[in-house]
Each structure stands twice: as C-alpha cells, then as structure tokens.
Amino acid sequence: AEYLRLPHSLALIRLRNPPVNALSLAVVNGIREGLQKAMSDHTIKAIVVCGANDKFCAGADISSFSRSSPGISFGVVVDEIQRYEKPVVAAIRGVALGGGLELALGCHYRIAHAEARVGLPEVALGILPGARGTQLLPRLIGVPMSLDLITSGRPVGADEALKLGILDVVINSDPVEEAVKFSQEILDKPLEPRRLLNKSVPSLPNMDSIFSEAFAKVQKQYPGFLAPETSIQALQAAVNLPYKLGIKEEEKLALYLQKSGQARALQYVFFAESSVHKQSPPSVASWQTASPQPISSVGVLGLGTMGRGIAMCFAKAGIPVVAVESDPKQLEIAKKAVTSMLEREASKMQQSGRAWTKPTLTFSSSADMLCESGRFGQKTGKGWYQYDKPLGRVHRPDPWLSEFLSQYRETHHLESRSISQEEILERCLYSLINEGFRILGEGIAASPEQIDIIYLSGYGWPRYRGGPMFYAATVGLPVVLEKLQKYYTQNPDVPQLEPSDYLKKLAAHGNPPPKDWQSLAGPPGSKL
C-alpha cells in the first residue's frame, strides 16, 4: 500500500497488489504504516483509501490461505481504522469484496463509482467474513439483509448497495477525486456516529424466527455446506453479544471453517475454475492436431429407436455394424425396421442411378439374465427391485431376486457376504478416480482440475469436496492405490479396479498435490 500526501491536508493510502489488490501481509502492513504516518503528521486532517488499477480490493489473498489464517489479524486493522481519530474515507472503484468490503466498513465513509460491486463472498470459499464482516454489516444494514448477503455471498451493484445503506455516495466520476472533495466537507463532523463498532444491531421483535427461517433456508438451499450455517451463528453473535465478545465468536467460527476440509476444497475449486478457462487441451489431444483414425467396424448396443437410427447411419456409410439387442422380440422388430429402411434407401439410390452396395449387418443377442426375464428396471416395474407400478418410483426388495441370486451364487460357487457401506463407496469412487488417472495418463484431459470442474459442473459432485481428483489427494494417493489393488485382487473380473500406471507413478512420490501431478508423472502417452 502506497502512502501519498495530497493538497488540502489530506493523505492517500493506495492499495497496490496486482491484479486485484488482494490483502497480502505486505498490503496489510502498508495500510497500518500509512495510518501511523498520517496520525503522527499533524498537518493531515483526513485520509482517503483507494485501490490501484481501477479496483478497490478483492479481499484476503486466497493463494496464501494454506499458509496462514485469513481475516483474523486483518480484523484488528479494521477496528483500528474505526477508532482512528481522523476521518477515513473509502473510495471504491471496481470491486470491494470480502476483506475489501470489511476494510471499507472500517472506514467512516464509503464513496463508490456507479459500476462498482461490493459483497462478502466468503461462503463460496468455505469460510466466513472473519475480519469483522459478520459483526459490522448487521450494525449497518440490519439482520435480514445481512443474512441474505452473507449466506449467499452474492455481490451487489453500487446502486443496490446505496439503497441498503452500505455506501454513502455513488458517483459516475472518479471516486478518489470525489472522496478528496467529500473529505473536506466532513472534516468538522463528529466521528463517533460513523464508528459501526459502537452501534448496536437494529433490533426486530421476531429475531428468533428470522434466524430459524435462515437456518432452514440454507439447509435446503446449500445442503452439506458448512459455511452458510456457521455464518448465521456469527450473525447471531452480533445480535446477542456486545461487539467485544461478538468478534471473539466470529474469530472462533472463522477458524473452525478455515481448518475444515470444505474450505480447502472450495479454495481449490476457485483456482481450478480460473485455471481451466485458461488451459488449452494438451497438444496431443487437440482437435487441431489430431487426425481421424480409420473406422473398420462399429458396435451398437440396444436397438431401440435411437440404436436403429445409429446402426442405419453407419450401414449407409458402408461401415460394417454389429448390433446387440438382449430382447428377442425387440431384436425381431429392429431387424425388420432396419432391413426395410435399407431397402427403401437402396431403391431410392437405384432410381437416381447411383450404385448401391448392400451393407454387413450382423445381429447378435446378449445374455443379460435379468433383462432376459423382462426385468428392465423402473420402466417395466421390476429390475433389481420391485416397483409399485411400471414407471413407478416406490421400490421394495423382490423375493424373486433373492431366489435368483442364491441360485446364481450356487452355480458360480460364490460365498454370500455383507458388503459394508465403506466398501461400496470406495469401489464406486476409486474406480471413477482410477479412470480419471487413466485419462490424464492418456492426455485426454489436460489437468486434474479439468476433470474436477467437469464433475462439479456436469455431474453434481459436491463442490465442498472439490471434485474426484482433489478428493483422491485428500484421501491420499497411496491409500487409493492400496485399496484399488485390494479390490482388484478380490474382483479380477472388474477391469475398472485395476490401478492405472499413472496413479502408481504418482503414489510412488507419496501424496503430491494435484498441481504437481503432471510434472511428476511425465508427458502423457497419448492414444489419440
């Protein structure tokens, strides 16, 4: 943070930490030093705080979170600013997010450009606004709106922030110039009414029900996420405790979240999302460099409406097709339909004088024992379970299936055993993770982050667990490898459980973090 003396007895503290003026230790120290200089200089009457490069501040430095606990020490600075004996005015351009907004809340006045955005997005990182945000915001704008902004993490535009009372002035010109003019107008005004820490939270008669509704809402809206609920507890502390004790509670809750696995996962996701936007696929797997491989034959599983169409397409292109259909009735129908479609095609082509070579269509029937008995799952009302009706959703165990399975075990000399929930989870998750390592090894995905972001965005993987590859690192790669080896030995007929070479290479290095995997495992052996 730079310190500058301005005309008219003013000082300027400008945060400068590209790209977003995050509150690194150096920036925080710079702010404190600037405040001390301005205090000891009797010619300085007021201070303006702003950020360089058209951004106020995007909060604590997320990249340093694994090294230190954010917010807690910065809260002391926010209090120092509030208690400061000279007026401090925040001049906001761009964003004031997280610790950036907390810094502004510590200032006695807030002026912002009309295009600025302010907010406390910490919940998205699995933490809470731990530099007094949960204690100061409700004192300024009341509990209901603070609950909304803090539990959702949504930033608001300057106009909305002005209406809510977060900002004092919104302008279309340069906020620093405006703040300089404004500072001179408020020089003689008492500072005490501007110190949020000495105010109480506006009270409402139905505070208990407001909080219980808020808990119910976040449990429904963000199931499994710790940060929104914990933020509500911090807001309760703002209402129930004096400031001095409220900030202690905020610190305690912030530390609890910061140490949680959810915070680590969500912070990984923040950087993973940002990096996948910048990544290009590995050169070996790029559509720009890959060349098409000749296709000698095609397999189509299932001859329903789509399967028939797909089989037809390839047959028309002169590519041999093997189509597999388990239901003999469906197979007959499909045979007739495909043959008549092909014949129609042939006669059209003959009429137009083009040559027609009759294609190789081979059908074979698969022996899926359940399906052969007509048990296609929900749509037929029975499958692994019995359903209340075809397409029904209410399932119950089926004695037929127990009988079927015991015969099956007898035939194949299998021992029945109970399978623990842990084994079910591990076999599902670790085989999925194993496939992730395979596609990294083959260069199909450019990075573990890409796989994780696809799982978060496309498959509903819980965001607070970071994605399957991050999860593997959380469990520990040697553990994943050992478990896969164990399950594969027990189930050699399940190829998904055979540990991939890529995983073996990495586990030999212990448990390296995902960002180091590619450099440790070497270049992918592409199959593309």
126 binds ligand CAA (CB under 6 A): no
Task: Give me the least distance between CB of 146 and ligand CAA, in Å please.
Answer: 14
- Residues of span 35-64 touching ligand CAA by CB under 6 A: 58-63
Task: Give me the least distance between CB of 99 and ligand CAA, in Å please.
Answer: 3
Nearer of residues 122 and 178 to ligand CAA, judged by Cβ: 122
Question: Nearest 5 degrees, angle CA 25-CA 29-CA 33?
Answer: 170
- Cis preceding-peptide flag for 19 (omega within 30 of 0): yes
Task: Give me the least distance between CB of 514 and ligand CAA, in Å please.
Answer: 16
164 binds ligand CAA (CB under 6 A): no
Give me the catalytic one of 2, 115, 122, 250.
Answer: 122
Q: In sequence order, what DSSP letters do the residues of 104-153 get, joined into one string?
A: HHHSSEEEEETT-EEE-GGGGGT---TTTHHHHHHHHH-HHHHHHHHHH-
* Exposure of 292 in the CB half-sphere (CA atoms within 13 A): 3
Task: Identify the bridge partners of residue 14 per DSSP, sorted by sequence position.
Answer: 2, 50
Residues in the interface with ligand CAA (CB under 6 A) total: 25
470 binds ligand CAA (CB under 6 A): no
Candidates 1, 48, 131, 361: give the one binding ligand CAA (CB under 6 A): 131
Nearer of residues 263 and 473 to ligand CAA, judged by Cβ: 263
Candidates 34, 71, 282, 383: give the one binding ligand CAA (CB under 6 A): 71
Say whether 122 is catalytic. yes
SS3 270: helix
Give the chain's count of helices (H) and strands (E). 21, 14
Task: Identify the bridge partners of residue 68 per DSSP, sorted by sequence position.
Answer: none
280 binds ligand CAA (CB under 6 A): no
Q: Using the 8-state DSSP alphabet, how is residue 41 labeled?
A: -
342 binds ligand CAA (CB under 6 A): no
**Which residue type is seen at 46?**
A
22 binds ligand CAA (CB under 6 A): yes
Of the candidate spans 40-48, 121-129, 226-234, 311-319, the one that interacts with ligand CAA by CB under 6 A turns out to be 121-129
SS3 170: strand
| Cα distance between residue 522 and residue 333, in whole Å | 51
Task: Identify the bridge partners of residue 364 per DSSP, sorted by sequence position.
Answer: 324
Q: Which strands form 95-97's sheet, in the order they lie side by side?
A: 95-97, 117-119, 156-157
Residues 6+ apart with CB under 8 A from 425: none
| Cα distance between residue 371 and residue 261, in whole Å | 43
Candidates 108, 111, 113, 122: give the one binding ligand CAA (CB under 6 A): 122
| Cα distance between residue 452 and residue 455, in whole Å | 5
19 binds ligand CAA (CB under 6 A): yes
Of the candidate spans 122-130, 288-296, 342-350, 384-392, the one that interacts with ligand CAA by CB under 6 A turns out to be 122-130
250 binds ligand CAA (CB under 6 A): no
- Residues of span 386-425 touching ligand CAA by CB under 6 A: none
Residues 139, 238: contact at Cβ < 8 Å?
yes
Candidates 12, 88, 89, 97: give the one binding ligand CAA (CB under 6 A): 97
Q: In sequence order, what DSSP letters do the residues of 50-64 get, joined into one string?
A: EESTT--B--B-GGG
SS3 366: coil
Nearer of residues 201 and 263 to ligand CAA, judged by Cβ: 263
Task: Give me the least distance between CB of 129 and ligand CAA, in Å please.
Answer: 5
Task: Give me the least distance between CB of 92 and ligand CAA, in Å please.
Answer: 13
251 binds ligand CAA (CB under 6 A): no
Residues 113, 92: contact at Cβ < 8 Å?
yes
30 binds ligand CAA (CB under 6 A): no
Task: Give me the least distance between CB of 167 and ligand CAA, in Å please.
Answer: 18
Say whether 442 is catalytic. no
228 binds ligand CAA (CB under 6 A): no
The site for ligand CAA (CB under 6 A) is made up of 19-20, 22, 58-63, 70-71, 74, 95, 97-99, 102, 121-122, 125, 129-131, 133, 274
Q: Which residues are catalytic?
A: 102, 122
